Amino acid sequence: MTQATGHRGLLVAAVVAGVALLVAGTTTVVLVDRNNSTPVNNAFGAISCTEPSLPGTTVTVRVGDSGAMMMAQAPIRATLVASPTSVPAGRVSFVVPNTGALVHELVVLPLPADGPGTRTTGTDGKIDESASRGEASRSCASGTGDGIAPGSTGWTTITLGPGRYELMCDQPWHYAAGMFDVLTVT
Ligand SMILES: [Cu+2]
């Protein structure tokens, strides 16, 4: 009897573990699907929001992609391109239109000593933002939020001294995928 009960207990444990795996698998699929498909920019390249009149020198930082790889968050052909790439010191207004299918953002950091793209990516796919000078990560609004939705624009105004800065996107794995550019302030 003891042995039979033990076997039944094992069977119950196996069934419970199986259900738990199923649930975990379903949750993962839902999460990945959500990351890949929401919010989707159905009209790649279309921008629905225009920034207001902003002070200082304007730098447009275009962010985009061609979607995300299945079962991973790494973006495909993610780009971050600033124009112009050199501005005078003082107030700089960054305008960030997102023409991709994924959420993006702009974080302004001092350029690393080893050059652009050399920051360490953590296990969460993000970099250390503690030296951030400012951020544009809201949809059709100024300042810091959860990211700029596909087809929208974010912006922010920062006072920058002379130096070199790295403009980057810190959505998970986007910096590692190449979303950075250099801004020289003279
Ligand atoms: Cu990004």
Specify the number of domains making up the chain: 1
Between the CA of 1 and the centroid of ligand 1 the distance, in Å, is: 61
Q: How many CB atoms lie within 10 A of CB 186?
A: 9
The answer to whether residue 169 sits within a structural domain is yes
Strands 106-110, 134-136: pairing kind: antiparallel
d(CA 11, CA 29): 27
Closest CA to 94 of 40, 132, 43, 48: 132
Between the CA of 174 and the centroid of ligand 1 the distance, in Å, is: 5
For residue 121, what is the domain's CATH number?
2.60.40.420
Domain span including residue 144: 57-185
The answer to whether residue 17 sits within a structural domain is no
Please name the residues in contact with 172: beta carbons below 8 A apart, sequence gap of 6 or more.
73, 124, 125, 126
Residue pair 36/72 in contact by the 8 Å Cβ criterion: no
pLDDT values of the chain reduced to their tens digit, one per residue, 186 residues:
445 444 555 444 444 444 444 444 443 333 333 344 444 555 566 788 999 999 999 999 999 998 877 666 678 889 999 999 999 999 999 999 999 999 999 999 999 999 999 999 999 999 999 999 999 999 999 999 999 999 999 999 999 999 999 999 999 999 999 999 999 999
Phi first, then psi: what are they for 166, rounded to 5°?
-105, 125
The answer to whether residue 86 sits within a structural domain is yes
Between the CA of 80 and the centroid of ligand 1 the distance, in Å, is: 8
Q: Edge-to-edge strands of the sheet including 57-64?
A: 79-83, 57-64, 90-97, 153-160, 141-142
